[in-house]
Amino acid sequence: MSLVDNDAFLERLKELFDATKERGAVWLTHKRLNHDGEDAIVNDEDSERLLILRVTDGKKTKFSTKIHPDHLTVFHAAYGNILKASMTTLRKRDKKREKQRAESIAAKKARTAKPVVIDGPKRGKGRRKRQRKVKAALKQEEMKERQAKREEAREKAAASAAAAGES
């Protein structure tokens, strides 16, 4: 990974976004720099720390830069402009697929809410059909119990969060 200055970083980032416009991905990592070198760990919490920003395309292109806190606002302004310009290449959400999933989940909930009616003979013709209905009724009962447990856990979590917020 090559370490470049801030201006060269922004130029290379722009080129990388242009290269991956049609196909590809770019990973960005922001971190506070805790040490500078092998064993020189910064222990002073009050001191201003550098920010390290790394970029990779997941293949061979990897580069990074160190940003001093004094230059952070200027750098972020230029960095933000580059990100905004490259956001036009993002794919739109597939709302049709999301709608299908939501409908299938709603249909599944409706099936679990509708009680299974067990009818038919215990022996003879129609026995297997009755056994399937019995099994479906047991499964539906288990699903309702699990759903009740989940709701109870959510209520407890909400109550504990509210209690934590009060104090």
pLDDT in tens, 57-102: 888 889 999 999 899 999 999 999 999 988 887 777 788 888 999 9
Residue 138 host element (H or E): helix 127-166
pTM tops 0.85, yes or no? no
Residue 50 host element (H or E): none
pLDDT of residue 38 exceeding 90, the answer is no
| pLDDT value for 152 | 93
Q: Whole-angstrom Cα distance, residue 17 to residue 25? A: 9
Q: How many Cβ atoms from other residues are within 10 Å of residue 153's Cβ? A: 10
Q: State which amino acid sits at residue 98.
A: E
Share of the chain above pLDDT 90, in %: 37
3-state secondary structure of 38: coil
Average pLDDT, the chain: 85
- For 106-132, what is the mean pLDDT? 85
